[in-house]
Amino acid sequence: MDSLQLAASLKRYGFEEVEDKTHALGYTHPAMGEQRIYLKVSRNERTEKPKAVAKQPLVLHPAVAKRSGFDTTRVAGLGPNYRYKNTNMSTFPYKPGESATGIAVDIPDLAALSELLAVLGVPSASGSSVASMSEHARAPARSEVAPGASAPSAARTVGPSSATPRNRTDTLAFHAGQDIDFAEHCCQGEGRLEAGPFDLDALTIAVEGRRRLRFSPLGNRPASPRLALVGITPGGQIETFAEALATKDVASAAIHAAFHGAQKVIKELLAAHGFADRLGIVLDGDLNQNPAILTTSVVKCCLMVDDGYRFAAPDIAASPAALKCATERLVAELRGYATLEWVAVFGAPAWDALHTLTIDGLPVIDVLRAGGLRVVQLPHFAQNFQQRALYTCNDLAETALLSAKPHFAQYAEVPRRMRRALLAAMPQG
């Protein structure tokens, strides 16, 4: 498959194009959090129509090589270029003065693509059928209930001993520098992670049929924050968290991983319309180290369904463990700071969850507002770049942008509503 054929296939899987560079197109998927993939394209100027590239057209983040199951895929057996460099891959790691580095791979057919995406946690494309899909891609997720068995009605907490068997050293991609007691850092985490090699399954703290909650309490805990930044639940950042445990304690790793790779965009959203300035918040440096900013999520740890990341209210409501975290824990955390005044919620899934999930019959957002918090919605920092561009405009700039890019009009209503709600809520003067 060449890069343009892959572009069409990725859309069927729910990927969204979020980056259009001269020699690379960037794509994101809700199941992958902030982590992107890139397709190589050939053209001299970005204004030209992109031409297909057939040789190793798909480029993956270097961390994908550490994912369990990647080395057994057909794609991995075709001789990937693990040191592919391209200046257009803006979210991939690079050294000063060098191009960003990724893993360039060949995708021989749709079955190979499906197998690879399953390793990345992306669910099967709706309505697609791949008769020749490999056994690895078709295998049920480890958290699924076996045919004929009844799913547990409530969460059962598990420790590393009941996770995936630990005799496959090739899956132990991470290393813990010290023993970790989950209960010391999580509202319902029972179990331990012992120092030494581990895989992500070792972080599982609750299994509920097809759903699991994995220990990754991302965020910071400043003493006197004035603004809280709230995502839906950690996605790909769990791998950043797991990698950091080799050299950091849990709190430091959680701070390091929160909104990893997204801070530049988040700062642009917070700066828009003078929001941060009106609150007297300086956006210099790491947001997780800012004494005025609390970073957290609706579901603090990582919620997964069939080994894919999930970011929707129905998935949270269907998980007793996640539901408790998104209601009792979230409200207690945000209302536990006397100094906290503002809550900025990123994206539709988190916003919908606050309106859909309830405590004593009241939506969570009403409970927060009843406690004196001003809760506003901002565009998601890793999805729908059109929405972000429109949100940062004032009315005059929006008119100019829509005139230059009329196809953006289909995205305009939601960011317009967000912008006007924020301006109405902000202190004047």
Q: What is the count of structural domains for the chain?
A: 3
Residues 233, 268, single domain; the answer is: yes
Task: Determine the pLDDT at residue 139.
Answer: 34
Query: Is position 64 within any domain?
Result: yes
Q: Give the model confidence (pLDDT) of 270-313 as tens digits.
A: 999 999 999 999 999 999 999 999 999 999 999 887 767 666 78
Q: Are the C-beta atoms of residues 187 and 326 closer than 8 Å to each other?
A: no
pLDDT computed for residue 112 by the predictor:
87
φ/ψ of residue 223, rounded to 5: -70, -40
Specify the pLDDT at position 96: 67
User: Percent of the chain, pLDDT > 90?
Assistant: 56
Say if residue 340 is in the same domain as residue 308: yes
Average pLDDT of span 235-253:
92
Residue 161 has pLDDT above 50, yes or no: no
Q: How many helices (H) and strands (E) does the chain have?
A: 15, 21
Question: 289 and 388, same structural domain?
Answer: yes
- DSSP lists the bridge partners of residue 373 as none
238 pLDDT higher than 70: yes
- Per-residue pLDDT averaged across 356-369, rounded? 96
> What's the rounded mean pLDDT across residues 123-146?
38
382: in domain? yes
Average pLDDT for 341-370:
95
Q: What is d(CA 297, CA 376) in angstroms, rounded to the nearest whole number?
A: 15
Residues 165-212 pLDDT 10s:
333 333 467 899 999 999 999 987 778 999 999 988 899 998 888 888
Note whether residue 246 is domain-resident: yes
Q: Is the pLDDT of residue 219 over 60?
A: yes
What is the residue range of 303's domain?
218-425
The answer on 183 and 266 residing in a single domain is no
Q: Is residue 27 part of a domain?
A: yes
Same domain assignment for residues 187 and 299: no
φ/ψ of 153, rounded to 5, equals -85, -20
pLDDT score recorded for residue 144? 31
Predicted pLDDT at 429: 58
- Looking at the predicted structure, is the pLDDT value of residue 38 above 80? yes
- Residues 383 and 349 reside in one and the same domain: yes
Query: Residue 151 falls within a domain, yes or no?
Result: no
Same domain, 240 and 387: yes
* DSSP-derived secondary structure for 372-419: T-EEEEE--SSS-HHHHHHHTS-HHHHHHHHHH-GGGGGGSHHHHHHH
Same domain, 100 and 200: no
Residue 395 lies in a domain: yes
Query: Is 59's pLDDT higher than 90?
Result: yes
Residue 358: pLDDT over 80: yes
What CATH number did the domain enclosing 16 receive?
3.90.1150.40
CATH of the domain at 279: 3.40.470
Same domain, 264 and 371: yes
Co-location of 200 and 254 in the same domain: no
pLDDT at 366: 97
What pLDDT score was predicted for residue 329?
Answer: 95
User: Residue 99: its pLDDT value, please?
Assistant: 80
Q: Which tokens hold the place of 123?
A: 């669910």
Cα–Cα distances in Å, from 394 out to 74, 370, 399, 420, 423?
49, 30, 9, 9, 10
- Residues 197, 229 share a domain: no
The last residue of one of the domains, among 198, 213, 228, is: 213
Mean pLDDT of 27-40: 90
pLDDT band at 162 (very low <50, low <70, confident <90, very high): very low
Assess if residue 141 is contained within a domain: no
pTM for the whole structure? 0.64
Instruction: Looking at the structure, tell me whether residues 342 and 224 fall in a common domain.
Output: yes
Range in 301-310, 385-394, 395-404 the model is least confident about = 301-310
